[in-house]
């Protein structure tokens, strides 16, 4: 029986309705419900789902070992947790009430990562229900802490190492290069995320009675943030670029030839035009260059009207996207040293590392990568291109290390999908195309491994 597209969408919507916001303690039960949903879907697919506890949110695990001991094993990794939806008021429809408009499924998690994890669950269900077999053993691992930097996944992987050993890791948590332009990832940026706190006084003070004679934490923080870049958009933290591997001329040329619609990119971002490090194209800035971004600022009075306070404290969330071979811990040390150097003597400065992940480069050889290339060509009718990705999937390098295999990253979202922003969406048509591609993946793998 052919799959019913409406039934699939209904099933996906069930999953998207669960507000599994892993960072918020008040959503702990919702996050568990999402894990249970995945376990149910694994059961329906024929992979015997189980919920495995961790110190934090549980892992949903499914296994099919029918290919036998000597056959290779594929580990599929995804996550069922989502980013917080704030600012809520900027969503056109509620973030946890999935809605189709203009052939797009709008919901928090539609692209990152519930929608894409769903494609794998359905593809496995279709192959196993049609043929009752797969060319490889398959383990599906869906965690609930990807959006909070996976604090409990590594202990989990270490504890279950024997069960999770694999010959390849397959992940769909990224985007295609454009509509009709499937791609395979050759690189991911890493992440080093910090919170900087400046304290000038023990309490907020009246700006008249004290203004001009005591440290202003907000002004000081702003001045410190302003030292993070030079006037050419280059990160001005000493040592920051020491480990950055420059792309060679060939790769730069290949990237420049890609059909990148720069105007559309800035239109989707609602930006006035290009910004960033002088001397690099937009795609180079996104794929090959590290960044240092302010993700949040908070200090003093931020409500309606005028309140004349000198803020006692000021906070900035600051994060760096890293490229090979930068190391998040080392970047933390460099940033700390820089802030200590530029901080004036009249304030206290604290720096916390909130999250980190290494940058990554793909292995472009082997049957698992080749099957992906062929499956995408078949699914979308066009040869996939090799691209970089500015975002991070911090777990990729750790997964590779712990399961002893290289990862293949094949994404089905589209650029501008608003992952981590209001109005996140996933193309409705890619539900069908994605499942078709992944079904084909197993067929190609069977041929290549034969």
Nearer Cβ to a copy of itself (168/225): 225
Nearer Cβ to a copy of itself (269/337): 269
Nearer Cβ to a copy of itself (151/366): 151
Nearer Cβ to a copy of itself (3/390): 390
Shortest approach of a copy of itself to residue 150 CB, angstroms?
Answer: 12
Nearer Cβ to a copy of itself (204/370): 204
* Residue 244 DSSP one-character state: P
Closest CA to 412 of 104, 180, 174: 174
Q: Which tokens hold the place of 219?
A: 């002004």
Shortest approach of a copy of itself to residue 263 CB, angstroms?
Answer: 13
**What whole-number distance in Å separates Cα of residue 75 and Cα of residue 142?**
10
Shortest approach of a copy of itself to residue 86 CB, angstroms?
Answer: 7
Nearer Cβ to a copy of itself (32/285): 285
Which residue is associated with the tokens 């400046």? Answer: 198
Closest CA to 323 of 286, 276, 377, 375: 286
Shortest approach of a copy of itself to residue 100 CB, angstroms?
Answer: 20
Whole-angstrom CA distances from 277 to 223, 239, 252, 369, 390 are 20, 17, 16, 33, 14
Q: How far apart are the first and last CA of the chain?
A: 28
**What whole-number distance in Å separates Cα of residue 316 and Cα of residue 228?**
12
Strands 407-409, 168-171: pairing is parallel
Shortest approach of a copy of itself to residue 122 CB, angstroms?
Answer: 25
DSSP-assigned states of every residue in 134-178: -SSEEEEEEES-GGGT-TTHHHHHHHTHHHH--SEEEE--SB-SB
Residues 6+ apart with CB under 8 A from 121: 38, 41, 42, 44, 45, 140
Nearer Cβ to a copy of itself (37/240): 240
**What whole-number distance in Å separates Cα of residue 227 and Cα of residue 234?**
11
Shortest approach of a copy of itself to residue 106 CB, angstroms?
Answer: 13
Nearer Cβ to a copy of itself (3/151): 151
Residues 6+ apart with CB under 8 A from 1: none
Residues 6+ apart with CB under 8 A from 336: 351
Peptide bond into 96 cis (omega under 30): no
109-134 burial: b if 16+ Cβ within 10 Å, else e: bbbbbbbbbbbbbbbbbbbbeeeeeb
Shortest approach of a copy of itself to residue 368 CB, angstroms?
Answer: 24
Shortest approach of a copy of itself to residue 61 CB, angstroms?
Answer: 25
Shortest approach of a copy of itself to residue 45 CB, angstroms?
Answer: 30
Q: Which tokens hold the place of 2?
A: 């052919």
Nearer Cβ to a copy of itself (137/291): 291
Nearer Cβ to a copy of itself (21/60): 21
Nearer Cβ to a copy of itself (56/62): 56
Give the three-state DSSP class for 276. Answer: coil
Q: Which tokens hold the place of 353?
A: 């590392």
Q: Which tokens hold the place of 132?
A: 């009752």
**What whole-number distance in Å separates Cα of residue 14 and Cα of residue 23?**
21
């Amino acid at each position: 029986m052919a799959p019913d597209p409406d039934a699939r969408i209904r099933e996906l919507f069930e999953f998207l309705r669960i507000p599994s916001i892993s960072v918020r303690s008040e959503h702990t039960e919702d996050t568990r419900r999402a894990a249970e949903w995945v376990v149910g879907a694994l059961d329906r697919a024929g992979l015997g789902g189980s919920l495995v506890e961790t110190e934090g949110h549980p892992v949903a695990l499914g296994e099919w070992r029918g290919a036998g001991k000597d056959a290779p094993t594929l580990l599929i990794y995804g996550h069922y947790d989502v980013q917080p939806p704030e600012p809520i008021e900027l969503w056109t429809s509620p973030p946890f009430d999935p809605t189709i408009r203009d052939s797009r499924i709008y919901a928090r998690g539609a692209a990152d990562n519930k929608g894409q994890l769903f494609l794998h669950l359905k593809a496995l269900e279709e192959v196993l229900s049609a043929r009752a077999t797969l060319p490889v053993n398959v383990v599906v691992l869906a965690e609930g802490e990807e959006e909070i930097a996976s604090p409990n996944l590594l202990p989990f992987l270490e504890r279950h190492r024997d069960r999770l050993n694999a010959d390849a890791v397959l992940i769909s948590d990224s985007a295609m290069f454009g509509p009709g332009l499937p791609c395979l990832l050759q690189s991911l940026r890493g992440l080093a995320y910090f919170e900087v706190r400046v304290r000038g006084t023990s309490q907020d003070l009246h700006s008249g009675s004290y203004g001009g004679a005591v440290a202003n934490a907000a002004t000081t923080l702003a001045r410190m943030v302003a030292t993070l870049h030079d006037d050419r958009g280059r990160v001005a933290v000493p040592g920051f670029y020491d480990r950055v591997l420059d792309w060679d001329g060939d790769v730069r040329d290949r990237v420049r030839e890609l059909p990148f619609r720069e105007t559309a990119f800035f239109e989707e971002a609602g930006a006035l035009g290009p910004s960033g490090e002088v001397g690099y194209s937009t795609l180079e800035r996104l794929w090959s260059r590290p960044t240092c971004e302010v993700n949040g600022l908070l200090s003093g009075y931020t409500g309606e009207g005028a309140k004349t306070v000198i803020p006692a404290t000021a906070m900035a969330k600051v994060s760096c996207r890293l490229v090979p071979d930068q190391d998040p811990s080392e970047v933390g040390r460099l940033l700390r040293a820089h802030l200590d150097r530029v901080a004036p003597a009249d304030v206290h400065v604290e720096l916390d590392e909130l999250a980190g992940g290494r940058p990554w480069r793909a292995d472009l050889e082997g049957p698992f990568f080749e099957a992906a290339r062929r499956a995408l060509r078949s699914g979308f009718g066009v040869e996939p291109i090799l691209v970089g990705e500015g975002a991070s999937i911090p777990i990729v390098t750790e997964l590779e290390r712990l399961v002893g295999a290289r990862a293949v990253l094949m994404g089905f979202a589209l650029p501008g999908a608003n992952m981590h922003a209001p109005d996140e969406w996933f193309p409705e048509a890619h539900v069908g195309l994605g499942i078709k591609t992944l079904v084909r993946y197993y067929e190609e793998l069977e041929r290549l491994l034969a």
